[in-house]
Amino acid sequence: MKILMVTSEALPYAKTGGLADMVSSLSIALAKLGHDVRIVIPRYYPIDKTSLTPLPGALGVPMGGIEEWSAVYEERLPGSTAKKPVQVYFIDHEIYFGRDGIYGIPSQPDFIDNPRRFSFFCKAAFQLCRKIEWYPDVVHAHDWPAAMATVYQKFAERAPVAGGQIPGGFERAVSILTIHNLGYQGVYSKANFDYTGLGWDVYFRANFDDWDMMNFLKAGIFNADKLNTVSPNYAEETKTQAQGFRLDGDLRQRSKDYLGILNGIDTSIWNPAKDKYLGEKFSVENMAGKAKAKAALQKYFGLEVNPKVPVIGMITRLAGQKGVGELFGPNYGSAFSFCRDFALQFVLLGSGESWCEKEVAGLSARLTNFRAQIGYSEELSHLIEAGSDFFLMPSRYEPCGLNQMYSLAYGTLPIVRRTGGLVDTVENYDEKTGSGTGFMFDILDPSSIYNTIGWAMHAWYNLPEHIAEMRIRAMKQDFSWEKSAKKYVEMYQSAISALPAAGA
């Protein structure tokens, strides 16, 4: 199959979260299965174009009333092989993408022209295929910034546009939407719709309207041939009012075509036996490297280097979704209390909401066993996963979550809230039998976090044989992409077989 991934993020070029890891690692896994996978992504300003190959000529993209022009660059995705390549195309439009920030910058977290930037990008994806004369069987869009691709496909590429011709090439292509996070829908003034170049009848027929606003994700949900989210449990949760972010009814309406497929992890990057960032690699057979990583981590953060004191790690966007209000919120956050009361060390790597960055800096100043690095660091994230004993993820909601899977692979036991993909990947500890791979709680509030950390500390200090067994069990879990990539292939195939017969 020929598969085009339309995405606003992909590793190693542009990343704000797990979307970037997922798109690149899924693409590589599909290529390994023998499919021709290509990715299209904006050429954001920090992506160095001098190291890419330019395609000859410009790309014309007809938008409402105007023709936009862009350059296109390409290269083979690092991590994919010459035999099973994943080709990446970069859409280079100076006005839309020649600036810092993927979706925004700290002073303007959501760029005012995002509806235009991403509508343009989605239209450009189709024009790109025409330019390179490569027509996919599957156009696979990720999250709201790419959701417009499903609409273009249905109303402009596959069906006759009022009074016009079908430009051709996509009549037999199916559209897939993967929802990585229902909390971000792309809701803007509908005044932005004119720019899409689609008639206003399409605005209503495609179900954009959301209380008089234009909702990109909602339109994607209605117009994709098939859709999915990134874990089976989150797929169920999103169909409830409590977790549906107002789109639960729409998702229930599409439930026949709506699946949950668990993300995999890239085991060439996240594997303690091969990790290029680790001084000494480790595995179930030889755990000495983990102890070394712990010592290195303690040293890095200026903590007492002591194997007996448990280290709890956390790597996260500092956003409400991740439970940071309950952890670090002024007046009632639990981090201060559990660091004060338990013999543990806590290390955090993250960046995000400025109130939270300030609280975290305050905690570092007040507590000797709480250390944080604000910012983004691929290298440090590997050291935290490897060197910690526990990994904290008290998410409010979690479509899949990658960090708990990375943690399990490194024998670092997750302490998580029972939500979303965390339920599909972590098995709760049972003190009577010693079974499980992590520690879970239900209610997101400071005292539940405090108590669950207390429970993990109890096991650490009093039942060390359980901790050792859980570690080995965790490291033996298989979260590689193989199984899940096949489920994507099945979803693509079922969408293709549901197309009306040619000429019908």
The verdict on 181 binding ligand GLC (CB under 6 A) reads: yes
With CB under 5 to 8 Å by kind, the binding choice for 349 among ligand ADP, ligand GLC, none is ligand ADP
Q: Closer CB to ligand ADP, residue 206 or residue 384? A: 384
What's the closest the beta carbon of residue 249 comes to ligand GLC, in angstroms? 22
The verdict on 260 binding ligand GLC (CB under 6 A) reads: no
Distance CA 425, CA 395 (A): 14
Distance CA 72, CA 42 (A): 9
Give the residue nearest to ligand ADP (CB): 18
- Is 475 in a helix, a strand, or coil? helix
Residue 390 one-letter amino acid: F
* Beta strands at 36-42 and 174-179: parallel, antiparallel or unpaired: unpaired
The verdict on 22 binding ligand GLC (CB under 6 A) reads: yes
Distance CA 406, CA 402 (A): 6
Instruction: Please give the residues from 272 up to 331 whose contact with ligand ADP meets the rule CB under 6 A.
Output: 315-317
Distance CA 327, CA 453 (A): 12
What's the closest the beta carbon of residue 370 comes to ligand ADP, in angstroms? 17
Tokens of 290: 């983990």
Q: Give the residue among 314, 362, 338 at the shortest CA–CA distance from 447.
A: 338
Distance CA 355, CA 325 (A): 10
Instruction: Please give the residues from 24 up to 63 whose contact with ligand ADP meets the rule CB under 6 A.
Output: none
The verdict on 401 binding ligand ADP (CB under 6 A) reads: yes
Interface pattern 371-410 for ligand GLC (x via CB under 6 A): ---------------------------xxxxx--------
Go through the chain and tell me how many residues it has: 504
| Cβ partners under 8 Å of residue 42, min gap 6 | 8, 14, 90, 91, 92, 93, 96, 97, 117, 121
The verdict on 19 binding ligand GLC (CB under 6 A) reads: yes
With CB under 5 to 8 Å by kind, the binding choice for 230 among ligand ADP, ligand GLC, none is ligand GLC
The verdict on 412 binding ligand ADP (CB under 6 A) reads: no
The verdict on 491 binding ligand ADP (CB under 6 A) reads: no
Q: Closer CB to ligand GLC, residue 137 or residue 398? A: 398
What's the closest the beta carbon of residue 234 comes to ligand ADP, in angstroms? 11
Distance CA 293, CA 285 (A): 16
What's the closest the beta carbon of residue 211 comes to ligand ADP, in angstroms? 26
Distance CA 75, CA 89 (A): 7
| Interface residues toward ligand ADP, by CB under 6 A | 17-19, 21, 315-317, 349-351, 376-378, 381, 400-403
